[in-house]
Amino acid sequence: MKFKRFWKWQYIVPAAIVAAPILLALVVVLFGGIVMLLWNWLLPPLFDVPRIDVWQGFGLFLLGRLLFGGFGGHGGGHSRSMTPEERERMRRRFCRGRKEDEPAASLDDGGSAQSG
């Protein structure tokens, strides 16, 4: 029984060692290439910015995922896990710079404040 398990690992580990860098290179080329093609198609003619290569495209992809999307999990839905008290505390903290007589936008009515 142990002998069969040894033979499985003997083939799986080298295959994983060889496949991991190949898969990583494919991911870099795929995602970096898509961002590079979109950037080079849109931005140089519109805004006269320089063209980028695949590595810079992959860097932009990673930066965008870090800033806006995260990597897996529930992404940007942090307010869904908040209790109503935490939401109210955050709402007060964000509205702290407003005047006292100015009504704050409520999340319950879709974010539109009514002025009287």
Q: For residue range 20-57, what is the model confidence (pLDDT) as tens digits?
A: 999 999 999 999 999 999 999 999 999 999 999 999 99
Q: Decide which of 74 and 49 is more confident.
A: 49
Q: Decide which of 94 and 60 is more confident.
A: 60
What is the extent of the structural domain holding 52? 2-70
**Within-domain flag for 61:** yes
**Within-domain flag for 52:** yes
pLDDT for residue 106 is more than 80:
no
How sure is the predictor about 96, in pLDDT bands with cuts at 50, 70 and 90?
Answer: confident
**Within-domain flag for 104:** no
Give me the mean pLDDT over the 4-17 stretch.
Answer: 79
**Within-domain flag for 108:** no
**Within-domain flag for 115:** no
How sure is the predictor about 116, in pLDDT bands with cuts at 50, 70 and 90?
Answer: very low
Joined together, the tokens standing for residue 49 give 């910015």
**Within-domain flag for 7:** yes
Domains in the chain, number = 1
**Within-domain flag for 103:** no
pTM of the model: 0.55
**Within-domain flag for 29:** yes
